[in-house]
Every structure is written in C-alpha cells, then in structure tokens.
Amino acid sequence: MPRGDGSLSKDEKQKVIDWVNEKGVHHNCPVCGSNNWGVGDHLLSGMPYMGGSIVAGGPSYPAAMLVCNNCAYTRHFMAVKIGLFSAGGSSDGE
C-alpha cells in the first residue's frame, strides 16, 4: 500500500516492474526507441472529467508511472490493476 503522500517503497516499485514484465509489455520507448525505464517515486492521480469542474475529494485513478530515462516520456499503469491497492481502494486498505 503506497504511503499517504503517494510515494512508493522499494518493494512496491519492484512490484510495478514485475507486473509490467509479467504482462509482456513492450519496452522500447515509443518516442525515442530507448529501452531504459525507471519507476517514478510517486503515484499520479488521474481524476475523471466532471464537466470542467474539479471536485475535491472526488474519485481518482492512481497510477504508477514508468519514465524513459532518455527522453522522459512517461507511461501510466493503473495502481489497482497492479495490486498496489485493493479494489475499491481507499488508503486504509485491503
């Protein structure tokens, strides 16, 4: 379970790497062709479109990010699907 500030532990970062490898994700960067990725230190929080308004405390979709170490292109992977959160996913858990 990621910390309250969305940061990932070393084990959680490894879980992201293992999940991506297990799924057979193609590793060449679609922008520069490099195959040199790092896992971001924090989760990103994507919010659903709500008619142009930002809803504080509304639903969000936390995602782990892989960042190309050459060109900084960023890929997002849903944290719930990876298993970093339980489905229904509040920060208190499983």
Applying CB under 5 A, which residues contact Zn ion?
29, 31-32, 34, 68, 70-71, 73
Minimum CB distance to Zn ion, residue 28 (Å): 9
In terms of Cα–Cα distance, which of 3, 4, 40 is closest to 20? 40
Q: Which is nearer to Zn ion, 68 or 84 (CB)?
A: 68
Q: Which is nearer to Zn ion, 69 or 91 (CB)?
A: 69
Dihedral sign for Cα atoms in the order 10, 6, 45, 79: positive
Beta bridge partners of 66: 39, 75
Minimum CB distance to Zn ion, residue 66 (Å): 10
